Amino acid sequence: MENIVLCLNAGSSSLKFALYAISKLAEKKIAEGAIEGVGQPSARLWIRDSHGDLLEDRKTKFSDAHETIGALFSALERPELSPPVAVGHRVVHGGMNYTGPQKITAQLQEDLQALVPLAPLHLPGQIELIEAVRKWRPSLPQVACFDTAFHFGMPEVARRFPLPHSFWEQGVRRYGFHGLSYEYVLSVLEKQSEKPSQKTGSRTIIAHLGNGASMAAVRDGIPVDTSMGMTPTGGFMMGTRSGDLDPGLVLYLLRSGYDARGLDDLFNHQSGLLGVSGLSADMKTLLEKRSSNPHVDQAIAMFCRGIRKFLGAFATVLGGLDTLVFTGGIGEHAAPVRQEICTDIEFLGVVLDPSQNEKHAAIISAPESRCTVRVIPTNEDLMIARHTAKIALSN
């Protein structure tokens, strides 16, 4: 028996969605799409079927989550699409109490409201979507799939900040993010390791590189460290986020007149690749302009250097490196970035094959490389569908 699951992945002004048919024997994506430009004068809703054929593509206006979800459910009422029996949400932060996917209840919604200060960029919109789905389809079970849940397997020594113990009790700790992506990548590695020709070592680093970017160190399938911290702002520099900074710099800016809102805007919206380049947060655009713009060149160099530093640190934590995985939009598609990250780290056993890297091959390391370097397209929606089917439809 197939169960149709609707997966929702909300951004600041867009909503990506996918329909999956989940059974004990198979997992199949039957449709995907997005609503782009939510809250803007002109929004776009599009849907493609499993063959990539466009089922709907129209421009309209959605002022809030309620209108957006209403339009989505209306658009999905098509003869060729079966209606969903459950809805799964990517929820960026679960705090210290939610260590795995959970069926959404009134209590969980209340708890999410209390967690908004930990992820103010993401949680408010995700909470609004949950409420909108409940109003439009009150009988549909909903499941929250937390991006932080994966990292609860890390040892406490990796999750603590060097602060008094009272802060740990308050929930001030390293949570980590992109957990759904890491889960999916590990599921792929597990299948590949069953093939005699593609054995995967126990010491793995996964680099999820996109507009938001992070890294996880994994030993025998268990996370041992990650780059992001208490919020998705931490780690190495990203599209518009600063990554880790000297705490003294924050104090300096506060004394210079910045308040919390100003710092939030600076660190999350004006920094990273955008801030350094002065041009764009989009890596494809930056790579095209790199040779003619020194600020762009510097931004890309800083991005790659920051990732190399984390690679070295995590290889030390793991005691070596067997497998390096690139995933996410940049990790999957930006061959020059992968090449630069892997430059001068032969001491970690990493040697790229330039031709395979340019082809975005599944394995881009050279035959003599001690570390296998892979490119694995991530699939957070499928992880959401798996969790949702298991939890919402188990009774």
SS (H, E, C) 362-389: CECECCCCCCEEEECCCCHHHHHHHHHH
Burial of 241 (C-beta count, 10 Å sphere; 0-12/13-18/19+): buried
Q: Residues 31-65: pLDDT tens digits?
A: 999 998 877 778 899 999 999 999 999 988 888 88
CB environment 58-85: b (16+ within 10 A), e (fewer) = eeeebeebbbbbebbbebbeeeebeebb
Q: Residues 162-189: pLDDT tens digits?
A: 999 999 999 999 999 999 999 999 999 9
Question: What residues are annotated to the active site?
Answer: 147
List C-alpha distances in Å: 332 to 134, 154, 217, 325: 35, 26, 19, 10
Contact 96, 146 (CB under 8 A): no
pTM, to two decimals? 0.94
Please tell me the least confidently modeled range out of 1-15, 83-97, 99-113, 342-356: 1-15
Q: Residues 263-295: pLDDT tens digits?
A: 999 999 999 999 999 999 999 999 999 999 999
Helix (H, G, I), strand (E, B) or coil at 390: helix
Question: Span 214-239, mean pLDDT?
Answer: 96
Question: Span 229-255, mean pLDDT?
Answer: 97
Straight-line distance from the first to the last Cα atom of the chain, in angstroms, rounded to the nearest whole number: 15
Q: Give φ, ψ of 230 to 5 degrees.
A: -75, -25
Q: Residues 113-139: pLDDT tens digits?
A: 999 988 887 899 999 999 999 999 999
Q: Residues 319-373: pLDDT tens digits?
A: 999 999 999 999 999 999 999 999 999 999 999 999 999 999 999 999 999 999 9
Average pLDDT for the chain: 94
Q: Give φ, ψ of 6 to 5 degrees.
A: -95, 120
